[in-house]
Structure 1
Amino acid sequence: MTHSSRQRGVFAAAAAVVALALSGCAPSAAGGSDEAGAPAELEKVRFGYIADFNGASIAAIAEDQGLWEKHGIDVETPVFTNGPLQIQALGTNDLDFGYIGPGAMWLPASGQAKVAAINALGNADRVIAQPGITSIEDLKGKKVAVPEGTSGDMILTMALKDAGMTMDDVEKVAMDPATVVAAFSAGQVDAAGIWYPLIDTIQQQVPELEILAENEDFADQVAFPSAFVASPAFVEENPELTKQVIAVIREAIDFRVENMDEAIELTATMTKLKPEDLAAEAANAKYLTSAELTELTEDGTVTTWLTSLNEYFVSAGKLESPTDPTEYYLGDQFVEAGK
């Protein structure tokens, strides 16, 4: 390179930095630009979601607010119908991060995933029944639909146990969530373990359905946290990138708390669902700020939530020897990503 060429390069770089400063768009520390002001290469991440408010709102907010790029990430966001499928995809290296409800939390507890961040505390799960079935005891011998390994499965198991029954007392039919909606609406099953907003959809066809159990019935026994999970191999091989993804989640969590109506609209656009249905789902969950989740992580509350879930999964026969939550919850990384 000639001397004059080098000079032009230096002047061009300097001009770029000045232009960025004047426009208020200085390079981000997370990797948006390199030291010369040139765009840095974004790190690719595959981040799964479920097409409902709890499962999709963080991805929708992050996309709209440019949070992925801000933190140096080139994201791909495949959609899934449930949490266990995402855990499976993590294990086959077809996904890096995903979203699960509380019913699938036994999978991280069995060592198949890391919990990167808590999403929300859920209260959207119900055991519903056809008109005329008014108690859990009435389900004995009845056909009950449930998405296997989800919070619908969990609420059904807990309700049966509370009534002195087990899953052996009913005819359990494993279905994906959309099939549960269709089967219940058509009267092909007597009951279901399912959640809002899918219950709203069912109620349009079966307005007199019965609600036999809900999360609040068991609030003194266990919390129902949904969470973002990560591939253990990805976390081990990419500690800094893991922290960048958690930083995105933290910012999106705060945006959601501060701008719930906008978050609902953004999620509706992403999922092509009705805003009013997502609003009904959002009304059945508790959303915490990243600062609150940091405090609950540091004082051990999150570990207590996960420990109580471990105990439930043992009692339900899902696990024999669950991993301690301190081994699969990335609490230190979550706190560090907020500094």
Structure 2
Amino acid sequence: MTSTTRTPGSRLRRTLAASAAALLVAVGLAACGTSSADDVAVSGNGEAETLRLGYFANITHALPLVGVQDGTYAKALGSTKLETQIFNAGPAAVEALFAGALDATYIGPNPAINAFVKSNGEAVRIVAGASSGGAQLVVQPDITSAADLKGKTVATPQLGGTQDVALRYWLKQQGLSAPVQGAGDVTVAPQENAQTLDLFKAGDIAGAWVPEPWASRLVLEGGGKVLVDEKDLWPDGAFVTTHLIVSTEYLKKYPGTITKLLTAEADTLDAVTKDAAKAKESANAALLELTGKQLKPEVLDRAWENLTLTLDPIASTLQVSADHGVEVGTTTKADLNGIYDLALLNAVLKARGGAAVSAAGLGTE
């Protein structure tokens, strides 16, 4: 790496440009359709030989973090080989799925909506939930209101991602503009979460709307404070943060493999519910393996408390998220009917004596 001195402003401009380019690439790939399932061989029992699964090194993705780390996913998948890939945010995962590099991925609502809309409802299906909550707007100590953000820069994980939409929509509700293109009252800087923490500590950004554990790290390591806890903006504090999407083609060809994936997620949730302390240890071990760093105990505890792990995709909140994306210019308005296929999940839940979850009129149950 060359040694170059760069100003905070130049870093932010480059990050914004790169994020915009990535979103355009994802949109273009989405319009082309998928090819991933055609490249996956089928074993003798009619199930895929390989499942390529994406997720994030975030506590909001605790179920795959824990389940992959402790071997629950590999055990449930049996003879199907599990290959995993880690992403910083949803749009990049969607890009990989459309490029044929993934079969399924844990992701936030807005990137999933974009994938569905840009492929005319053909490319992906949401098959399960994973988490609710665990997202906050953390700001510098001297900021006490939305008005104090005017003329300042606030970060999100990626342009068009779930926290990016949430921030832009909230700012608009506060009377502040933050357009995807051009200047506004507030500059939104989509960037890697680790970079956000560094810039926040240096005082180069005013705040960030980020998922856990980054919100807790900004508070406990960066000296920030919570201006908005996203759960306070939703009825009963429930909204989808992370759910599981699958390539439609892969789902149709290999329902047995997806059933095993859903079983793995359900087994992991049961284990996490029974022993949260052990689950946190496993999640931290996964973060160490994936990022080279573990979370401090106080950060892990705070992040974990902010999150609800659930197989329910909380479908009733998805249309609202879509409407927010349309309003801030990151999503094209479209009919979301068919985006859910929860039949396999409900079969798994029924077999375990659990209650069925709803698609809220947006798909199969």
| TM-score category, normalised to shorter length | 0.7 to 0.9
User: 1:95, CA displacement in angstroms?
Assistant: 1.0
Q: Give the number of the structure whose alpha-carbon radius of gyration is greater.
A: 1
Of residues 274, 289, 299, the one that matches 2:295 is 274
1:215 CA drift (Å): 0.8
List aligned pairs for 1:131-170, cutoff 5 A.
Answer: 131-147=141-157, 148-167=159-178, 168-170=184-186
Contact 2:160 2:330 in 1 (8 A): no
SS of 1:327's equivalent?
coil
- Relative to structure 1, the CA distance from residue 212 to residue 193 in structure 2 (aligned partners, 3 Å threshold; closer, same or farther) is same
Asked whether the 8 Å contact 1:127–1:152 carries over to 2, the reply is no
Distance 1:197 1:67, change over 3 A: closer
CA contact (8 A) 1:151 1:194 kept: no
Q: Counterpart of 2:138 in structure 1: which amino acid?
A: I
Per mean C-alpha deviation after superposition, the further-off stretch among 279-288 and 262-271 is 279-288
Which residue is equivalent to 2:233? 218
Counterpart of 1:304 (choices 297, 303, 316) is 316
Structure 1 runs (4+) deviating above 6 angstroms are: none
Q: How does 1:83-102 map to 2 (within 5 A)?
A: 83-102=90-109
Task: Report the secondary structure of 1:78's partner residue.
Answer: strand
**Partner residue of 1:25?**
none
Does the C-alpha gap of structure 1 residues 55 and 216 become closer, same or farther in structure 2, counting only changes over 3 Å?
A: closer
- Give the Å deviation of 1:264: 1.0
The aligned counterpart of 2:247 is 231
Distance 1:121 1:212 in 2: 19
Q: Which moved more, 1:142-151 or 1:214-223?
A: 214-223
CA distance in structure 2 between the aligned counterparts of 1:279 and 1:257, rounded to whole angstroms: 15
Residues 153-173 of structure 1: CA distance to partner in whole angstroms, max 9, x if unpaired? 133123212312221321222
Find 1:79's aligned residue among 68, 75, 86: 86
Deviation, 1:205, is 4.8
Shift, 1:59, TM fit: 4.2
Contact 1:53/1:281, CA 8 A, preserved across alignment:
yes
The question of whether the paired residues in 1 share the 8 Å contact of 2:136 and 2:210 is answered with yes
- In structure 2, what is the Cα distance between the partners aligned to 1:116 and 1:255? 21
TM, length-normalised to structure 1? 0.76
Aligned pairs (5 A) from 1:46-65: 46-65=52-71
Which residue number in structure 2 is paired with residue 331 of structure 1? 342
Q: CA, structure 1 residues 143+70, in 2 after alignment: closer, same or farther (shift >3 Å)?
A: closer
SS for the counterpart of 1:262 is helix
Q: 1:275 to 1:139 in 2, by over 3 A?
A: closer
Pick one of 124, 127, 145 that aligns with 1:113: 124
2:205 to 189, 210, 215: 189
Equivalent position of 1:246 in the other structure: 262
Question: What is residue 180 of structure 1 aligned with on the other side?
Answer: 196
The structure-2 alpha-carbon separation of the partners of 1:267 and 1:102, relative to structure 1 and needing over 3 Å to count, comes to same
Q: CA deviation at 1:47?
A: 1.2
* 1:116 Cα deviation after fit: 1.9
RMSD: 2.8
Structure 2 unaligned residues grouped into runs of 5+ = 1-43, 179-183, 289-293, 352-365
Q: Report percent identity of matched pairs.
A: 22
Q: Find the residue that maps to 1:181 and give its secondary structure.
A: helix
Separation in 2 of the partners of 1:132 and 1:235? 50
Contact 2:58–2:211 under 8 Å retained in 1: no
Paired residues of 2:169 and 2:327 also in contact (CA < 8 A): no
- Secondary structure at the counterpart of residue 201 of structure 1: helix
Determine helix, strand or coil for the equivalent of 2:338.
helix
State the shift of 1:63 in Å.
4.6
The aligned counterpart of 1:21 is: none
Partner of 2:332, secondary structure, is: coil
